[in-house]
Each structure stands twice: as C-alpha cells, then as structure tokens.
Structure 1
Amino acid sequence: MNADVAIRTRGLTKRFGRTTALAELDLDIPVGSIFGYLGPNGAGKSTTLRLLVGLLRPSAGSAQVLGHDVSRAHARIRTRLGYLAGDFRAPAALTGRRYLDDLAALRGCRGTTATDRLAERLAIDLDRRIGSLSHGNRQKIGIIQAFQHDPDVLILDEPTTGLDPIMQRTFLGMLREAAAAGRTVVLSSHVLSEVDAVADIVAIVRAGRLVIVDTVDRLEARTRRNIDLRFDGPPPLAELRGTPGVVEVSEMDGTVRVTVEGSTVELVRVLGRHDVVDLVSHEVDLGEIFLEHYQGAS
C-alpha cells in the first residue's frame, strides 16, 4: 500500500442476509486529507465506517487502514484510530471525566491534558454525569473521545449532530487543524454545507454503491453553472449556443443566462469578441453537485 494513502478499499462489500448494504467499494484516501462521505440515511455510509474500524467484517473485498488489513490486524491500528459512531452512547452514570480517563487508560495513553484542552474548547463541564447532559453535550463527549489520543486517522459519523452553530464552527476548525498536522479525516455527513466547508475530496454513495469520488475542485469544474450576461447591443445568441461547453442559452429582459458544463475557456473566448457590460457568475456549491450526481445516478 502506498505510504501516501491512509485508507484503501478494494471491492469492499457488506451483505446482511439478502440485503446488500455496500457493494464493491473502491476508495483511496490520501494521508492528511479531509474526505467527505455524502449520502442520505440508508445509503451505506455508516456501514462503510464500521467496516473501516473493524466493527463489521466484510462479506467480500478488503479494507486497509495505515497499511494494515482491518480484518486481520485490528489491534495494531486501534490506538491510531479515532472513531465517533453516528449513534454514540456512553454510560449515563459516569461523569464525562471518568469515562474519558477510563478510555485513555485502555488506550495506554495519558489523556488528562488533551481531554481538558478539548473540553475547554468545546465548552463542556466534564464533572457532570453523562446522563444529565443535553444531546449536544453528550455529542461533545463523543468528539473528545475520538480526538483525545491524537489519532492518525479520524473516522467520524455525523459528528455535528446536536451541536449549535458556534460549536459546529469550532469543530470544523478542529478538523482543519488535524489535517494540517498530517492526520486523515473521514467525515460522513448529510449536512452538505459542513462538508463543503472543509473537504478536499468528496464521495457520493447511493443505495450502497459509489456514485462518484473526486476532489471538490474537479467536481465543481465539471458541474453546470449559470452565468448572467448583459451586452452593449444585440446579444450573440446563436454564437453562444454554438460554443463548446454551453448547454443552454436563454434571454429575459435584456439579460442572457448561459448554462455551462465544465470548462468556461471557450465561452470566455467568445465573450472577448463582444461588448459585455455586466457579468454575474453563480458559483456552484456542494449541494448542487450532490443533487446533480445523486439524482442522475441509476
């Protein structure tokens, strides 16, 4: 396995009886990247993450994390992984501090300093019983247990559930810092805006099958976008419609809307031959990319 690849799957498949939850997944996730894993509930995201951390055994195919086959060497990579389950739970009778200290001891690390630092950042009182905490504060406990031992790989399933907008922003900052330090982050979410804010690479999964995987920049470049134009004089509608990459041209009240798929290089050349007095480009976001690829999948 290439040293620059933190996670690799080949033909990774999981069946539950006659139901295929994940089918023939091939992924390469680079070291130090933030990998956004998108799809609605039931698409296969959580199944994938459970396979990666060794909580499920594959029906077929393989998964490697940090060069080790997860099915055969789970103990070797356990302390190098930080995992937050989508249905995270912790013993209600314990205080947050006791729970986190016990986990640190099981992992063979001293977690007190890191735990306190993370608790301060997430604004949570660790001396309260977990059962008395709000949903959002219980989720903070889950985040701390994933981060406290400085793992090389973070695998996070819907991590911002229950967090308020300020804490969501704080958490996304933690992800950026982790990646900047060379750690690899797998972020599974149905909240497109948070993935759009931090991810380098995005994969979209539908009904257990990979629809597309690519860098965010390349996905944006290949996705349709609208450009509104106003000309000093009659608009060159026929020329615009014949321009490579232009898929639709419409006009209303003197404004021409051009829909472009992929590169805008040829469109820019055409516009350079005309007097354009106003141009507004409507930038693509991850939500549009998701809808285009997800609805178009079969």
Structure 2
Amino acid sequence: MNVIEIKKLTKNYGKNRGIQDVNISVKEGEIFGFIGPNGAGKSTTIKTILNFIYPTSGHGTILGMDIVKESEKIKEYIGYVPSEVRYYDDIKVKDIIKYSQSFYPKVNKEDVENICNDLELDMNKKMGELSLGNKKKVSIAQALIHNPKLLILDEPTNGLDPLMQKKLFNILIKEKEKGNTVFLSSHNLVEVQNLCDRVAVIKEGKIVDIIEIEKAANKLTLKVTLISSDINEESILNLGGKILTKEENSYTFVYSKDVDSLIKEISNYKIDELLIEKENLEDAFLNYYENYMEEK
C-alpha cells in the first residue's frame, strides 16, 4: 500500500518558481527522504499535499484519501513538523502539549510523557523563553503524541544539537519499527543516508530522480586522495578518475574500478601520500547535483 501517492502535482506562483508535475509514491512502513537544495520546492510540495496551499493542477492521496477533498480527515492520522515553528510567546510548553492532546480522543498519556522526557522538554518554560531548537522539539512532540500513521517532517533537525538529532533519529527508527511511515524533507545528506530507504531528489521544482539507498550504496566508487609531484591533472584523467579537488600536488578524485586496479595504475609514479576510502552517499549526491547542473 502507498501511504502517499501524488501525480503531476503542480503549484504555480506566476513568475516565481513553485513545483511542476511532481510524482511521488511512498510505501507503508518506510522512511522516505525528500532532498534538494534550498528553494528547490520541498516545502511547497509538503504544504500542497497537506492542503495548506491549493494545487494548480494534479492530484494526490494520503492513506487513500484525497488531499483536497478529505484533508480534514487526513489530519487525524498524520503528524507534521514544519521547517519554521512559531508559537505565542506567553504560552507554556505544558499548555501547548495539553492543547494538542485535546484534538485526539485516544491519546495515551504515558506515551506523551515518555515523548516529552525523551525530547527533554522543560514543561514550565514559556515559548518566548525557548531557543529555536527547543521550539522545534515542542513541535516534534506535538507531531508524535497521537501515534500518527504518517509523520511528515520538513527540515526537522534545524536548530537541534547533535545529541538531540541522534535522539530524533532513534525516534524515527522506532516509528518505522511500529509500521508507521516517515516522510523526511531535508538538505542534510548525512541524515538521509543514515535513515532513509528511498529518496526523491527535487531540483528547481521538478523531481529529477528516485533513489534506493541500499542499491545506491552498493554502487559507490572509491574516493582517492594522493599527493605526488609525478602526477598532474591529465594523469588522473587517464587513470579514469574524476577530479573533485586539486591543490598544487594534491588531488582528490573518484575512481570507479577496484583498489587492486588503482594500485597497479599508480605503481609507476612516486607517491608521497595516499588515502583510499569508499565514497559516501553525501559525496555521491553532491556529484549528482553538479552533474545535473552541468547537463542543464
């Protein structure tokens, strides 16, 4: 079953870019990543499928329900964390959580208490006293308190310190283990690599690829850094490498063959320093963006 199914979803803003013919299918029980640079259309897509803004054309469903006609019903089953969180300054954290619980008749109070403890919420603080990261934590708690079937998170780690980011990742993994679905919008490629099953790549308002993380990881090439006065840029290209960075006698490049082939290729050169490592998905995504822009 596809928890999210959107087809040819378009939102035009006149001269300003929106999204165009977006097609995405998200399976039940997966963590689905949605990545792209700032301004690519991630938040616009999310706001459109949540019916906060109306689509110009196209259609979609969440949990089998129409995103426009059945929007009110859909919101009973989802949790949402916006990229920017805003609250009235004078309201206390405990009152926000209590107010959020009032929308859902079957909230487990023990679960809510555990969520607030995990996120280290200071329940007696006023929202105006909180940092951006602590406000984001309140928003995350609100999204989780009713055990939603679908979590939609728009840049959820913005403002969170590394330890709290790790706690959030653990929470999302637990949601997946429970059979719930997570839609994670981010420009942080490391968190996408560590968490997601599949990823949609959006660029300039259009989906340019859908990537399965496990398959992509198996196709990763070698990332090589070497320092040598014997080797120049032409030598690297003749090896079949694609240069990422260069500085005097130091080169970093990606190499698609195996380590044995590389060693044989460079054995005739005097090498001062050599580092060979597996390319990570962050490198691969960055190369992907660069290649896409070159094709444009």
* TM-score clears 0.5: yes
Query: Secondary structure of 1:179's match?
Result: helix
Q: Given the alignment, which residue of 286, 291, 297 partners 2:286?
A: 291
Q: 2:118 maps to what in 1?
A: 121
Deviations 1:10-40 (A, max 9, x none): 1011111233311111111111111111112
Q: How does 1:101-120 map to 2 (within 5 A)?
A: 101-110=98-107, 112-120=109-117
CA distance in structure 2 between the partners assigned to 1:70 and 1:28 by the alignment: 14
* Structure 1 contact 91–131 (Cα < 8 Å) conserved: yes
Are residues 259 and 93 of structure 1, via their aligned partners in 2, closer, same or farther at CA, if it must alter by over 3 Å?
Answer: closer
* Paired AA for residue 290 in structure 2: Q
Q: Are 1:69 and 2:76 matched, yes or no? A: no
Q: 1:97 maps to what in 2?
A: 94
Q: 1:28 maps to what in 2?
A: 25
Q: Are 1:165 and 2:144 matched, yes or no? A: no
* Structure 1 contact 24–61 (Cα < 8 Å) conserved: yes
Deviations 1:161-213 (A, max 9, x none): 11111111000000111111111111111122111111111122111111211
Q: Given the alignment, which residue of 226, 244, 248 partners 2:241?
A: 248
Deviations 1:113-136 (A, max 9, x none): 222111111111112211111221
Q: Given the alignment, which residue of 142, 146, 152 partners 1:145?
A: 142
Query: Structure 1: which 5+ residue stretches go unaligned?
Result: 229-240, 251-256
Are residues 249 and 290 of structure 1, via their aligned partners in 2, closer, same or farther at CA, if it must alter by over 3 Å?
Answer: closer
* Structure 1 contact 220–289 (Cα < 8 Å) conserved: no
* Paired AA for residue 97 in structure 2: L
Are residues 89 and 269 of structure 1, via their aligned partners in 2, closer, same or farther at CA, if it must alter by over 3 Å?
Answer: same
* Paired AA for residue 78 in structure 1: K
* Paired AA for residue 279 in structure 2: V
* Paired AA for residue 32 in structure 2: F
* Structure 1 contact 227–282 (Cα < 8 Å) conserved: yes
Q: Are 1:214 and 2:214 matched, yes or no? A: no
The alignment's C-alpha RMSD in Å is 2.9
CA distance in structure 2 between the partners assigned to 1:40 and 1:47 by the alignment: 13
Shift in Å at residue 249 of structure 1?
9.2
Query: Structure 2: which 5+ residue stretches go unaligned?
Result: 226-236, 244-251, 268-273
* Paired AA for residue 197 in structure 1: N
Stretch moving more, 86-95 or 155-164: 86-95
* Structure 1 contact 10–27 (Cα < 8 Å) conserved: yes
Are residues 112 and 97 of structure 1, via their aligned partners in 2, closer, same or farther at CA, if it must alter by over 3 Å?
Answer: farther
Are residues 258 and 100 of structure 1, via their aligned partners in 2, closer, same or farther at CA, if it must alter by over 3 Å?
Answer: closer
* Structure 1 contact 204–210 (Cα < 8 Å) conserved: yes
Q: Give the TM-score normalised by structure 2.
A: 0.81
Shift in Å at residue 280 of structure 1?
7.6
* Structure 1 contact 212–293 (Cα < 8 Å) conserved: no
* Structure 2 contact 242–255 (Cα < 8 Å) conserved: no
Q: Given the alignment, which residue of 263, 274, 277 partners 1:282?
A: 277
Q: 1:83 maps to what in 2?
A: 80
Are residues 108 and 91 of structure 1, via their aligned partners in 2, closer, same or farther at CA, if it must alter by over 3 Å?
Answer: farther
* Structure 1 contact 104–111 (Cα < 8 Å) conserved: no
* Structure 1 contact 225–259 (Cα < 8 Å) conserved: yes
* Paired AA for residue 170 in structure 1: K
CA distance in structure 2 between the partners assigned to 1:55 and 1:105 by the alignment: 22
Q: How does 1:13-24 map to 2 (within 5 A)?
A: 13-24=10-21
Stretch moving more, 129-138 or 169-178: 129-138
* Paired AA for residue 291 in structure 2: G
CA distance in structure 1 between the partners assigned to 2:18 and 2:287 by the alignment: 23
CA distance in structure 2 between the partners assigned to 1:249 and 1:30 by the alignment: 36
CA distance in structure 1 between the partners assigned to 2:27 and 2:279 by the alignment: 25
CA distance in structure 1 between the partners assigned to 2:177 and 2:259 by the alignment: 36
* Structure 1 contact 124–137 (Cα < 8 Å) conserved: yes
CA distance in structure 2 between the partners assigned to 1:111 and 1:129 by the alignment: 24
Q: 2:185 maps to what in 1?
A: 188
Aligned length: 270
CA distance in structure 2 between the partners assigned to 1:268 and 1:192 by the alignment: 26
| Runs of 4+ off more than 6 Å | 268-271
Query: Secondary structure of 1:166's match?
Result: helix
Percent identical: 29
